[in-house]
Amino acid sequence: MVRQARRALVLGIVIMLTSCAKSDNREFENAFSAYKALFVIDGRVIDTGNNNISHSEGQGYGLLFSLAANDRHTFENIWTWTADILRRPDGLFSWRYTPCEAKNRTCVDDPNNASDGDILIAWALLRAAEKWGGDGYRSEAIKIINTIEKKLIVAQEPYTLLLPGVAGFKDDSGVQFNLSYWVFPALTAFSQNSDNPDVWKALFESGIFLIQEASFSSYKLPSDWTRIKNGKVSLDNVIAGEFGFNAVRIPLHLVWSPAFHENAKRDTLLAPFTTWWSSPDKPATLELENEAPSDYTMTPGMKAVVQAVNKIDNGKQPRWPILNRNTDYYSASLVLLSMLAVSDMSS
């Protein structure tokens, strides 16, 4: 009788957890349906807040989100468009496509790559191989991973750095980098699928160290962009020296990584973000050299990041923003990215 009661209890827990998982995925699927209707046309993810361009970041997000929503048709459309239009001869991806009459590769007006887009695309392909099987997705991912290793990961003692692109970020004035391009759970996946896992582990560890080292202002926050020369970090002549729309992804990428939660400095690394977010109506961006705030508050996507970090960090239940026609591409992407991170860390 006791054994039967235990079995019934275990079965009840399993059913409850399965039901919760299905409910969570249904919520994500509904959010992705709205995202797809708003931003995806014929495999092209449209950045509505940036003159309707498309870029490798958006294509990578579209792949991750369609995969998580189990929408293989949309995944294939996005991957086909990405491979046909953005893929460069070296296997990386041109970062920007500006709509033009031809609607083909000639609309690519900046052929330089963006390493966050390359990483997101490769990671989505790896995840697709795990979910749907077959060697095609994985082989495509491995090609991208190998090229990132060769062209975008550089030593700058004492760090291992990720170049934001093949061209334009390394010269006599040092290396300019973007810490939000370190997608930590993806780096772990790459180390498990690379012939050079130590390269990816070193990049992961350098990213963790730099988040603490490259902290600016009295708030000790990282910048969207940072320069390093002779082992010293600064905001000298960077693209943007603010904690803003790029850097807001950093804490999300941290808490999304199981390896990060094993780090002895976990709480120390998260503290500047949670402290900054602790009071209401925070500005969307903060200039780190003079602490000048923006005159507008955080977007729904930024607020979703805060909820995701709080959920993974301390279990506080999120209430995700609803996507609508007033939500721009990037804000919507942050919402779905936050939902996906929470789903991954809850499974």
pLDDT tens readout for residues 277-335: 998 889 999 999 999 999 999 999 999 999 999 999 999 999 999 999 999 999 999 99
In a domain, 223, yes or no: yes
Sorted by sequence, the CB contacts under 8 Å of residue 13 that are 6+ apart come out as none
Which pLDDT does position 19 carry in this prediction?
42
- CA quadruple 84, 85, 89, 90: dihedral positive or negative? negative
162 belongs to a structural domain: yes
pLDDT surpassing 60 at residue 15: no
Task: Examine the domain organization and report whether 85 and 58 are in the same domain.
Answer: yes
What does the buried/exposed string (b/e) look like for 39-78 if buried means 16 or more CB atoms within 10 Å of the residue's CB?
bbeebbbbbbeeeebbbbbbbbbbbbbbbbbebeebbebb
What predicted TM-score, i.e. pTM, was given to this entire model?
Answer: 0.93
Is the pLDDT at 167 greater than 90? The verdict is: yes
Neighbours of 218 (CB within 10 A): 7
Residue 63 forms part of a structural domain: yes
Give pLDDT, residue 278.
94
pLDDT of 173:
85
304 occurs within a structural domain: no
Task: Give residue 22's pLDDT band: very low, low, confident or very high (50, 70, 90).
Answer: low
> Per-residue pLDDT for 16 more than 80?
no
Does residue 12 fall inside a structural domain? no
Write down the number of H helices and E strands in the chain: 11, 13
* 177/229 same-domain check: yes
User: What value does the mean pLDDT take over residues 177-206?
Assistant: 98
Number of domains making up the chain: 2
CATH number at residue 30: 1.50.10.10
Residue 40 lies in a domain: yes
Which residues face 297 on adjacent strands? 283
Mean pLDDT, the chain, whole residue set: 94
- pLDDT for 279 equals 85
Q: How many CB atoms lie within 10 A of CB 126?
A: 22
- With a CB cutoff of 8 Å and minimum separation 6, the contacts of 163 are 115, 151, 152, 153, 154, 169, 170, 175, 177
Looking at the fold, whether 40 and 134 belong to one and the same domain comes out as yes
Alpha-carbon torsion 261, 202, 150, 111, what sign?
A: positive
Do 84 and 98 belong together in one domain?
A: yes
The mean per-residue pLDDT over the stretch 33-58 comes to: 99
Whether 116 is catalytic: yes
Residues 145 and 33 in one domain: yes
By residue range, what is the domain housing residue 108? 24-150
Same domain, 137 and 52: yes
pLDDT band at 242 (very low <50, low <70, confident <90, very high): very high
Is the pLDDT confidence value at 8 over 70?
A: no
What are the CA-CA distances from residue 44 to residues 89, 97, 332 (Å)? 20, 10, 16
Establish how many alpha carbons lie within 13 A of residue 20's alpha carbon, considering only the half-sphere containing its beta carbon.
9
- Say whether the peptide bond before residue 222 is cis (omega within 30 degrees of 0): no
**Which conformational region is residue 80 in: left (phi greater than 0), alpha (psi within -120 to 50 degrees), or beta?**
alpha
Q: Are residues 146 and 239 in the same domain?
A: no
Catalytic residue (one of 116, 198, 295, 328): 116
Residue 155 predicted with pLDDT over 80: yes
- What is the mean predicted confidence (pLDDT) over 196-202? 98
Phi, then psi, of 93 in degrees rounded to 5:
-130, 130
215 plus 234 within the same structural domain: yes
What pLDDT, on a 0 to 100 scale, did the predictor assign at position 187? 99
Mean pLDDT on 173-191: 98
* Residue 269, domain member (yes or no): no
Residues 170 and 251 occupy one common structural domain:
yes
- Considering the domain architecture, whether residues 44 and 180 belong to the same structural domain is answered as no
pLDDT digits (tens, 9 = 90+) for 72-128: 999 999 999 999 999 999 999 999 999 999 999 999 999 999 999 999 999 999 999
**35 lies in a domain?**
yes
Percent of the chain with pLDDT strictly greater than 70: 93
Please say whether the beta carbons of 206 and 213 come within 8 A: no
Distance CA 153, CA 166 (A): 10
pLDDT tier for residue 23 given thresholds of 50, 70 and 90: low
Same domain flag for 219 and 229: yes
**Whether residue 48 is found in the same domain as residue 117:** yes
